[in-house]
């Protein structure tokens, strides 16, 4: 599990893609200081297992499933990626609970200045819009953000200057794809509700009364 608070930006050093998946090596300085083989590292929001490392690099193997649902297949050597190590039980969760399991990618449309902040606008696949709510949490390339606005299949999130300096969202160009993880609890609630409709044990009214919707 992760918090969505990025520890550092790494730089892609090598990419080896085969029919079996992708081997990705990232140059970084903070992450290798406390890592081991098999450790979970969040790369652009996707939880990956470290297969090897040294003082300046980590290497992971991304499965074909990961390549299918993330922006990994669009990475190039020299690109920056957001990195976060798994949280510990004594860590304050200053962001929100991020599983590192990407739902889909969204398309970056444009940005506009809003005071000292910058608001970024994205086009979301329609089938995942139901998991996004105004002022709800969302993970974009692994960054814990708050949904600022929803208009049809377009949503926005606002980033303060400190966040923009620490993550790779400031470098986005129109048409770039970002990894999206929607709210975990929304998906569980939907699953419970849909599974119980035929049994009649849990109704929409029950969920509303108990604060789930």
pTM: 0.88
Distance of alpha carbon 141 from alpha carbon 177, whole angstroms: 9
Q: Which residue is associated with the tokens 């903070």? A: 30
Looking at the DSSP assignment, which residues form a beta bridge with residue 159?
A: 118
For residue 90, report the phi and psi dihedrals to the nearest 5 degrees: -105, 20
Query: What domains can you pick out in the chain, each with its CATH number?
Result: 8-85 (2.40.30.20), 104-187 (2.40.30.20)
pLDDT tens track for 10-30 = 999 999 999 999 999 999 999
How does pLDDT run across 117-138, given as a tens digit for each residue? 999 999 999 999 999 999 999 9
């Amino acid at each position: 599990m992760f918090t969505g608070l990025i520890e550092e930006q790494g730089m892609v050093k090598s990419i080896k893609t085969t029919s079996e998946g992708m081997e990705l090596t990232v140059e970084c300085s903070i992450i290798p200081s406390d890592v081991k083989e098999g450790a979970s590292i969040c790369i652009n929001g996707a939880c990956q297992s470290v297969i090897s490392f040294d003082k300046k690099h980590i290497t992971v193997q991304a499965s074909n499933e990961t390549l299918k649902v993330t922006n990994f297949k669009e990475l190039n050597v020299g690109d920056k990626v957001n990195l976060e190590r798994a949280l510990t039980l004594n860590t304050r969760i200053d962001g929100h609970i991020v599983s590192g399991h990407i739902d889909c990618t969204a398309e970056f449309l444009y940005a506009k200045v809003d005071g000292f902040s910058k608001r970024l606008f994205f086009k979301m696949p329609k089938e995942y819009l139901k998991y996004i709510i105004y002022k709800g949490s969302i993970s974009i390339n692994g960054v814990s953000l708050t949904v600022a606005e929803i208009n049809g299949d377009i949503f926005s999130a606002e980033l303060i200057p400190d966040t923009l300096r620490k993550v790779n969202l400031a470098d986005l160009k129109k048409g770039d794809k970002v990894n999206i993880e929607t709210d975990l609890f929304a998906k569980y609630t939907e699953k419970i509700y849909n599974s119980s409709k035929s049994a009649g044990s849990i109704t929409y009214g029950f969920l509303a009364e108990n604060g789930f919707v």
